[in-house]
Amino acid sequence: MGFEKFAIIGADCISTSIALNLKERKDPPHIVGYDKEALAADLVRSMGAFDDIELKVDRTCRDADFVLVAAPLSSIRDIFSAIAPALKPGCFVTDTARLKRPVMRWAQELLPDNVYFAGGHIVLNPVLVGLNAEMGLDLASADLLTEALYCVTVPYETPRGLIDVFADLIKSFDAQPFFIDAAEHDGLQSGIDGLPDLLAIALLRSTIDAPGWEEMRKFADHRFASATEAAVDVDQRQTDMLLNRENIVQRLNALISELLELRDLLDRNDDEALEQCLAQSMRGRSRWLRERAQGMWVGEHSADVESVPPLGQQIKQIFFGDRTSRAEKRAEQRAEKKDR
């Protein structure tokens, strides 16, 4: 299956980089773009990423073989509803949202049965982009996805051949496809996305405008600013938190337990235990930063693809989950007993 016409909905750094990569190829596809901010779409076209732009989202998808929805999670359901009548049979649709379960549910509910959908979440390689929180269009480039981790969630009924085609497309960006169950993905995401937001909000609510704040604010420095930075624009992520609330509540419960333990250590004046907790935390953070500086997996400036399961194993894990792994373990145990 070849993708000759691409539709890209949403002009952000990642979608623009994908378009730029496609336009550098020997036989580049025709790319039609759309963004609710017309100026953003015009800017991306001026960069050579879009061949044409549309002012209506449904018209963007007309006759498209491949549709990429790079929009905030809060707007994806409405986008699916709007484009559904315009999708031609057999086209492939994907997204770049940071949560996958709600997107998979909306796709099943709203998209026609004669089109294919796979969820996507692109995690850029930190060696190349660092810890830059702001990824504007000025940072878009054809090689931005080099050694990125490209998470993919697929419905059970997706043909294996189509999965292979999508995996090949991902690899053509020099990214590493990583197939993962949507529920598992969102559970992992809750610890590094929603939890920091709520922690920053709790810190702000317990200090700003609390008794003594008028004097306390005089001493607030860069550490307080850094600790509360996650609350910036948090209102735009409220939908994300609510849609992933079950996972975030579990993470919050674990966090509350840790806070209570630290409170008890301070209350008991247990200096030795507190010192051990602080040292363990600092070692953990240092290890994370060291590993992150080495790349998305391990190895200097490169992704260790050996640590990423093969495509077939990833797909088998998605479709059969723990049942397969348990059956394989039982088979191994029977073989060991027989050998004895």
**Where residue 156 falls among pLDDT bands split at 50, 70, 90?**
confident
Domain 5-181 class? alpha beta
Give the pLDDT score at 313.
56
Would you kindly state where each structural domain of the chain is located, as residue ranges? 5-181, 187-294
**What integer pLDDT is reported at residue 249 of this predicted model?**
96
pLDDT score, position 36: 94
Average of per-residue pLDDT values in the chain:
87
Q: How far apart are the C-alpha atoms of 75 and 221, rounded to whole Å?
A: 36
Average pLDDT over residues 245-274: 95
CATH code for the part of the protein at 187-294: 1.10.3660.10
Q: Are 57 and 41 in contact (CB under 8 A)?
A: no
pLDDT at 24 over 60: yes
| Rounded Cα distance, 110 and 82, in Å | 9
> Taking a C-beta distance cutoff of 8 angstroms, is the pair 80, 107 a contact?
yes
Confidence of residue 167 (pLDDT cuts 50, 70, 90): very high
* Cβ atoms of 202 and 334 closer than 8 Å: no
Give the separation between CA 148 and CA 132, rounded to whole angstroms. 15
pLDDT tier, 130 (very low <50, low <70, confident <90, very high otherwise)? confident
Tokens of 115: 């089109």
Asked if residue 30 lies in contact with residue 5, where contact means CB atoms within 8 angstroms, the answer is: yes
Band of residue 312 on the pLDDT scale cut at 50, 70, 90: low
Q: Which of 60-69, 98-107, 224-233, 320-329 has the lowest mean pLDDT?
A: 320-329
Give the Cβ contact number of residue 138 at 10 Å: 10
Q: Report how far residue 48's alpha carbon sits from residue 152's, in angstroms, rounded to the nearest whole number.
A: 27
What is the per-residue pLDDT across 192-206, written as a single tens digit (0 to 9) for each? 988 999 999 999 999
Q: What is the pLDDT of residue 314?
A: 54
pLDDT of residue 335: 47
Please tell me the least confidently modeled range out of 235-239, 262-266, 268-272, 294-298.
Answer: 294-298
Residues whose CB falls within 8 Å of the CB of residue 161, separated by 6 or more in sequence, listed in order: 1
- Core vs surface per residue 109-118: b (16+ CB within 10 A) or e: ebbeeebbbb
